[in-house]
Amino acid sequence: MFVGTASDVGKSVITAGFCRILLQDGLRPAPFKAQNMSLNSYVTPEGLEIGRAQAVQAEAAGISCHSDMNPVLLKPTGDTHAQLVLNGKPAGSQSAYDYFMGKDRGALWEEVKGAYDRLTKHYNPIVLEGAGSISELNLRQRDITNMRMALHAGADVYLIADIDRGGVFGSVYGTLALLPPEERALIRGIIINKFRGDARLFDAGRQQLESLTGVPVTGVLPFFRDIHIEEEDSVALRHRPKEHKPGAVNIAVVHLPHLSNYTDFAALERTSLHLYYTDDPAELAHAAAIILPGSKNTIGDLAYIRSREIDKALIAAEAAGTVVVGICGGYQMMGLTVADPYGVEGEPRTAEGLGLLPVHTVLAREKTTVRRRMRFGTTDGPACEGYEIHMGHTDTGDQPRQPLNYPATAGEQPDGYRLSGKCWGTYLHGILDNRAVMDDLLRQAGIEGVQLPDYRAFKERQYDKLAEHIRQHIDLNFIYKQLAKS
């Protein structure tokens, strides 16, 4: 199990790396994170929803993802509320206070244990990931994902600390000092992550840390920029460009407060294009194409873009011939109206959309989670695939429908609306991972000479590179010896 001194120390990426290492070494690993909080989710083959990080880790392990790998997912809908997804299905919206202080914690713990126990019948070893810091004293009695889970699993636990943010001695020492004896006994080693420069410079620090804690430092992982693993949540957007680059071919993503599934743009980031995330309407004028992304609070984010006058910039850009496309919540915003009669996102209300597409959306109580195989553009167009995660239905009313995607399987419904090659919307997350769709978008934007990667092959190479990086800098012999004792 990989746990942290804080959030964003690298737990998810290191867990993915170990899933690939164990696969390479002839084992059958599977990832597990009891509780995840993320707006970046994914759909399993069974049509259930889990955190994107566990889907990535399953991919690294060479297996299909399953809801048992992430039985509890919290999807924030505002500063104080989140949708609870339990075993892949929505189970209502709760405030943070109600979730952590409510009487259902015992029931959630039983669900978490059940999911883990089911996984152990099919995979070995299970690579567990913790959440945030393991030394949050005020949450320990309500913990269902960190050391309580480690105790249930009898896991070998490795504490990850991010040296790049500073204070690594205090964070490691303090974290371990705050653990009760039965939890401290599970800690097998310390991993120092994101070290910049020559790792030999930390040799003395390594010895000091081991002397202070009595726990071996099992590795010092150098900071890397040349390995690209899809990250867990939009916290990673802090490190993405926020402005256009003069002289480059620029594509803008509107940075919404509740932006979800930003991994929709991972394939674009692997090209020579300059992709940037902005909520500045002036910045949109420099883009050859603008993408309105998914949102966990469509009406709230629609109000936000109006408050920033981004709506005017989008309407002006489309009128000027700039490519403007919307994905999921972005597609809903591009329509004429978005209605929330059941209070899915808060108080029941109806909001006027951007009016770029002649469609109306009604948010529904039931969530759609499904993988889709489609034909892009026409009934016999190129194959494309993606997945839907949304609480709403979008249609044209009495007007003729002009779908963007047509079902590859008889009996299924078409997807999206294509006003023109330069203005369309879709519910399909992952649509830009499809070569045909990317080719069309770039052609419509007048962009030539861009090499598009085989994104699936690219991801496989990244998992292998990550595994090799870990092998070089972490004492795997020590870790395997500890596993043999378990």
Residue 256 pLDDT greater than 70, yes or no: yes
Q: What pLDDT does 365 receive?
A: 87
R_g (Cα) of the chain, nearest Å? 23
Mean pLDDT of the chain: 93
The answer to whether 2-229+460-485 and 250-449 have equal CATH topology is yes
Q: What pLDDT does 480 receive?
A: 97
Active site residue 429: yes
Q: Quick one: average pLDDT of 128-154? A: 93
Give the model's confidence band at 80: pLDDT under 50 very low, under 70 low, under 90 confident, else very high: confident
Q: pLDDT of 356-390, one tens digit each? A: 999 999 999 889 999 999 999 999 999 999 999 99
Q: What pLDDT does 232 receive?
A: 65
Residue 257 pLDDT greater than 80, yes or no: yes
Q: pLDDT of 198-232, one tens digit each? A: 888 899 999 999 999 999 999 999 999 899 998 76
User: Which residues, at least 6 apart from 209, have a Cβ–Cβ distance to it below 8 Å?
Assistant: 168, 169, 172, 173, 190, 192, 217
Give the rounded percent of residues in the chain with a pLDDT score beyond 70: 98
Q: Largest Cα–Cα distance in the chain?
A: 74
What order do you get walking across the sheet with 368-376 strand by strand?
383-390, 368-376, 405-407
Q: pLDDT of 442-465, one tens digit each? A: 999 999 989 888 889 999 999 999
- In single-letter form, the type of residue at position 307 comes to S
Give the model's confidence band at 233: pLDDT under 50 very low, under 70 low, under 90 confident, else very high: low
Q: Quick one: average pLDDT of 45-62? A: 96
State how far the Cα of 388 lies from the Cα of 12, in Å rounded to an integer: 24
Between 153 and 234, the more confident residue is 153
Give the model's confidence band at 184: pLDDT under 50 very low, under 70 low, under 90 confident, else very high: very high
Active site residue 328: yes
Q: pLDDT of 106-137, one tens digit each? A: 889 999 999 999 999 999 999 999 999 999 88
Residue 95 pLDDT greater than 60, yes or no: yes
Q: What pLDDT does 454 receive?
A: 87
Between 398 and 473, the more confident residue is 473
Check whether domain 250-449 has CATH 3.50.50.60, yes or no: no
Give the model's confidence band at 156: pLDDT under 50 very low, under 70 low, under 90 confident, else very high: very high
Q: How far from 93 is each of 67, 78, 392, CA to CA, in Å?
A: 19, 11, 16
Q: What pLDDT does 155 receive?
A: 97
Question: Where are the chain's structural domains?
Answer: 2-229+460-485, 250-449
User: Which residue in 133, 131, 126, 175 sits closest to 153, CA to CA?
Assistant: 126
Q: Which CATH architecture has domain 2-229+460-485?
A: 3-Layer(aba) Sandwich (3.40)
Residue 433 pLDDT greater than 80, yes or no: yes
User: Which is the catalytic residue, given 66, 244, 429, 473?
Assistant: 429
Of 74-83, 402-411, 477-486, the one with minimum mean pLDDT is: 74-83
Q: What pLDDT does 39 receive?
A: 82
User: Which is the catalytic residue, given 328, 384, 423, 473?
Assistant: 328
Q: What pLDDT does 103 receive?
A: 67
Of 73-87, 92-106, 304-318, 471-485, the one with minimum mean pLDDT is: 92-106
Q: pLDDT of 213-222, one tens digit each? A: 999 999 999 9
